[in-house]
Amino acid sequence: MPPKPLSEELIHREHMARFPQRWSTGPVMGKFLKALRDEKRIMANVCPRCGRSQVPPREVCAVCRVAATQFEEVGPAGTLRNFDVVYYASPDPVTGQSREVPYATAYVELDGAKGGATFWHELHETDMTKLRRGLRVRAVFEEDGKRTGAITDIKYFEIIEGEA
């Protein structure tokens, strides 16, 4: 008996990938994360040539490309330079869960930071119509005992009421 002809169907295979990751933070970023965890301080590093701050700190000045080894505290308050209000619930790549929308993210020029670099973090606000560039905002830290040496040791930024 001849075999039955194969159908025209196109077969698809599906797969969900998961893999563990473990990043070394190195001494520069590590110093920043330790300052968040142990001291609730936001540390920028400063270029010895042009004086720009970088926060989070990076090993080398992005403009001068020399080692930036000096650290200075910046913030915790700052000025909102740009922001996003996110309505689309894309999955959190770290947890795999969908974030609650709407939520806001902010680029904050922290007080004391020189050269215009901004710091990217979540902005906590329920009334999105309040948001405009130039608002004064401040970092809100996780409680003692809950900070782990991660960027999320800062829970979010919030608008400082009453400050122009």
Residues that bind other proteins (CB under 8 A): 10, 12, 17, 21, 23, 25, 29, 33, 49-50, 52, 54, 56, 62-65, 81-88, 90-94, 105, 107, 109, 115-118, 120-122, 133, 150-152
Nearest residue (CB) to other proteins, 133 versus 163: 133
Nearest residue (CB) to other proteins, 4 versus 12: 12
Nearest residue (CB) to other proteins, 45 versus 54: 54
Nearest residue (CB) to other proteins, 69 versus 82: 82
126 Cβ contact list (under 8 Å, min separation 6): none
Cis preceding linkage at 5, omega within 30: no
> φ and ψ at 153, to 5 degrees?
-65, -25
Q: Minimal distance in Å, beta carbon 109 to other proteins?
A: 6
Q: Minimal distance in Å, beta carbon 96 to other proteins?
A: 9
Q: Minimal distance in Å, beta carbon 144 to other proteins?
A: 21
Taking alpha carbons only, the member of 74, 68, 71 closest to residue 42 is 74
- Do the Cβ atoms of 71 and 47 come closer than 8 Å? no
Nearest residue (CB) to other proteins, 59 versus 162: 59
Q: Minimal distance in Å, beta carbon 110 to other proteins?
A: 12
Q: Minimal distance in Å, beta carbon 160 to other proteins?
A: 18
> φ and ψ at 11, to 5 degrees?
-85, 135
CA–CA dist 21, 23 (Å, integer):
7
DSSP letters along 85-123, please?
Answer: EE-S-PBPTTT-PBPPSSEEEEEEEETT--SS--EEEEE
